[in-house]
Amino acid sequence: MAESRPKILVVDDIPSNVHVLSRILKDDYDIYFATDGDKALDLVQARMPDLVLLDIMMPGMDGFEVCRRIKADPATHDIPVIFISAKSEVEDETRGLEVGAIDFITKPISPPIVKARVRNHLLLKRQTDLLRSLSFLDGLTGIANRRRFDEAMTREWRRCARSHQPLSLIILDVDHFKAYNDQYGHQVGDECLRVVAEVLSDRARRPSDLVARYGGEEFVCLLPETDGPGATRVAEGFRAGVAERRIPHAQSPVAPYVTISLGVATVIPSAAGSPERLAEMADQLLYRAKRAGRNRVQDATVPVL
């Protein structure tokens, strides 16, 4: 599969300037454009560009405020912003750097300069993203860790709130895992967790689905734009997939092999709501699944949260 091209958002209220920059960069990058600050912020959230080329002087919301808002949002904070300005005053450059820009390009635009600076900053971002991705992986299982999940949860909550789409969360853990460790030892216990993580990753097939280790023997799966029945089907697939591995568990009163219990919560997020509340709901449903005998799925849907 060919590697996807970097995405660049060009923001300028003058269409001819947008056209010039698009012509310079279109052969190497996917170009999106906005002609005012509000549209730019909407596109940043919708497209998650790899870099933003941003004019300073625009009617309404100026470039400084657009950059400040991009940098204030944890989901978009790491997107590089390069200001493009007809002015090269020290005060403008100082203010731009203070709100989070990484570079300035002055007009009239020089194609070689634009290409070189965009290329260099994208290379630096790629290297930074690689290091960052490694910090988001669980060292034992190789799947996403709690930090990665928390960031994705916040981002998807906001996105689904804007689009009025459902967001589902599965929380699960391995039944009687302490007894498993006591019986087989921690090394075998670690291998059991790796197998469970593998099953979850194999069965959460959409690119937008995120499987993560939540802590200890507890895992989560975030399912954007997934309704309650759809999330329950995924959870039942997880449960069946782990059971099919027939990992021996002599100390389990549930079955002679490893099983999992799952809580599934679905909601249509609201801007006033809290992603933490969705996690609390899923955790309460997991507890109910355990109380009901384990090796089962407990689900619930709340219209708006």
Q: What is the pLDDT of residues 149-203, one digit of tens each?
A: 999 999 999 999 999 999 999 999 999 999 999 999 999 999 999 999 999 999 9
> What is the mean pLDDT of the segment spanning 106-125?
94
- Distance between CA atoms of 95 and 33, rounded to whole angstroms? 24
pLDDT confidence of residue 1:
43
Mean pLDDT of the chain: 94
CB 172 within 8 A of CB 263: yes
Please write the tens of the pLDDT for every residue from 52-95.
Answer: 999 999 999 999 999 999 999 988 999 999 999 886 677 888 89
Per-residue pLDDT at 208 exceeds 70: yes
The 3-state DSSP class for residue 164 equals coil
CB 78 within 8 A of CB 131: no
Please write the tens of the pLDDT for every residue from 261-271.
Answer: 999 999 999 98
State the catalytic residues: 217
- Distance between CA atoms of 81 and 90, rounded to whole angstroms? 18
Length of the chain: 305
What pTM value is reported for the model?
0.66
**DSSP string over 123-161:** HHHHHHHHHHHHHTB-TTTSSB-HHHHHHHHHHHHHHHH
Per-residue pLDDT at 220 exceeds 50: yes
How far is residue 11 from each of residues 23, 40, 94, 106, 190, measured CA to CA in Å? Answer: 14, 6, 20, 15, 49
Residue with tokens 């097939």: 205
Name the strand (E) or helix (H) holding 220. Answer: strand 218-224
> What is the mean pLDDT of the segment spanning 253-257?
98
- Distance between CA atoms of 87 and 119, rounded to whole angstroms? 23
Spatial strand order of the sheet with 210-215 comes to: 210-215, 218-224, 167-174, 260-268, 297-304
Query: For residue 40, how far is the Cα from the chain centroid?
Result: 20
Catalogue all structural domains in the chain, each as residue range(s) with its CATH number.
7-132 (3.40.50.2300), 146-304 (3.30.70.270)
